[in-house]
Structure 1
Amino acid sequence: MKAGLVEFSWTIVFQIVNTIILFLALKKLLFKPVSEFMKSRKDDIAASIEEAKSKNEEVEKRKKEYETKLQFAEQEGREIVKEASKKAEARASQMKKEAEIESAKMIERAEEEIKRQNQKAMNELKDEMSSLAIMAAGKIIGKSLDKEKHQMLIKEFMDEVGGARW
């Protein structure tokens, strides 16, 4: 008897039973651990994705905070520069006023010194002129004056000359 392509025999039954046993064994030993591994891997990937999303959100939040702080720092820096500029201008103005006051005082002291020197020169000139006038008067009169008359002549001369403007 010639066997056809598919023939029903005990060999086929044993092959089917062996395939079922092999399937159950593989399912218990291989499919279940592989399925659990795949499920665990899938859960790990999902958890990693969620963690990455939360970290991205946190990074965005911190980025916004830093941008806000940076803007605040820039504004604060501009205010500090502005305030320093105002202080520098105020200090310059104060220094200018102090210099003007000091120069005015120096001019006033110089004018007072000039007046004192002028007065001193005038007094010396008056003393010298009175001495010369007395000497000339003494020579003209031809006699010596005593001290009392000498002082009286000087006083009279000074009264006359002192009123005149030099």
Structure 2
Amino acid sequence: MNVVIRPLPILSSMIISWVALLLLYLILRKFLYKPVSTFLQNRKDKIQTDIQEAEGLKNEAVLLKNEYESRISLAKKESNEIIEGARKRGEELKEDIIEEARREAENIVSRARKEITREREMAFQNIKSQAGEIALLIASKIMEEEINNDKQGKLIDKFIDEVGNQEWQS
């Protein structure tokens, strides 16, 4: 069989295909392309907005982090200053207490020295008065008896022994 190729039917089907394709393109463009483009553009805008918001939040987070770090360092500095101030006040208080104790010790020593001096004076006065009494007693014993130098020496020694035993024992 002889196949005859006819250019016209091929051409007609090509034209129909082209017209159908053009119609399909126009229909799809009108009903599908614009909504899909709009959807894609909205999606692109939303993604861009989300990226910008994320960058803004990231920047804000960095700023907050820096602010918190500066606050922490400031708080550490203040706590160190407070500790140092307390340490200085403690040292000053310690020095004050030591100085007050030293002054009190000096006062106690001074009072003790005054007391010793007073006791010494009292003992000296007591010895003077007893020596005077002893001298009077010796003189009265000597006057009672007439004696020579040997007898007078023995009498004085005896008297001193008697008076010494009586006075110093009481």
Could you say whether these structures have the same fold, taking a TM-score greater than 0.5 normalized by the shorter chain as the test? yes
**How far has the Cα of 1:20 moved from its partner?**
3.1
Q: Show structure 2 runs of 5+ residues with no match.
A: 146-170
Distance of 1:92 and 1:40 partners within structure 2 = 76
Q: Which amino acid aligns with 2:10?
A: E
- Tell me how far apart the structure 1 counterparts of residues 136 and 31 of structure 2 sit (CA, whole Å): 151
User: 1:15: how far off?
Assistant: 3.6
| Residue 31 (structure 1) aligned to one of 30, 33, 55 | 33
Q: Which amino acid aligns with 2:128?
A: K
Q: Alpha carbons of 1:109 and 1:4: their partners in 2 closer, same or farther (altered >3 Å)?
A: farther
1:7 matches 2:10: yes
Structure possessing the higher relative contact order (Cα contacts under 8 Å, 6 or more residues apart): 1
For 2:101, which of 81, 99, 110 is the aligned residue? 99
Supply the AA of the counterpart residue of 2:11: F
CA deviation profile, 1:114-145 (whole Å, cap 9, x unmatched): 112112222222233333333333322229xx
Aligned-pair Cα RMSD in Å: 3.1
- In the alignment, what sits opposite 1:155? none
Deviations for 1:50-73, whole angstroms, at most 9, x for unmatched residues?
222323333343344444444544
Match in the other structure for 1:119: 121
TM-score, normalising length: structure 2? 0.63
Which stretches of structure 1, 4 residues or longer, exceed 6 Å deviation after superposition? none
Show the counterpart of 1:46: 48
Q: Secondary structure at the match of 1:101?
A: helix
Q: Which protein has the bigger helix share?
A: 2
Q: Which moved more, 1:23-32 or 1:42-51?
A: 23-32
Identity %: 32
Q: How many corresponding residue pairs? A: 142
Alignment of 1:17-166 (within 5 A): 17-142=19-144
TM-score, structure 1 length as denominator? 0.65
Displacement of 1:37 in angstroms is 1.3
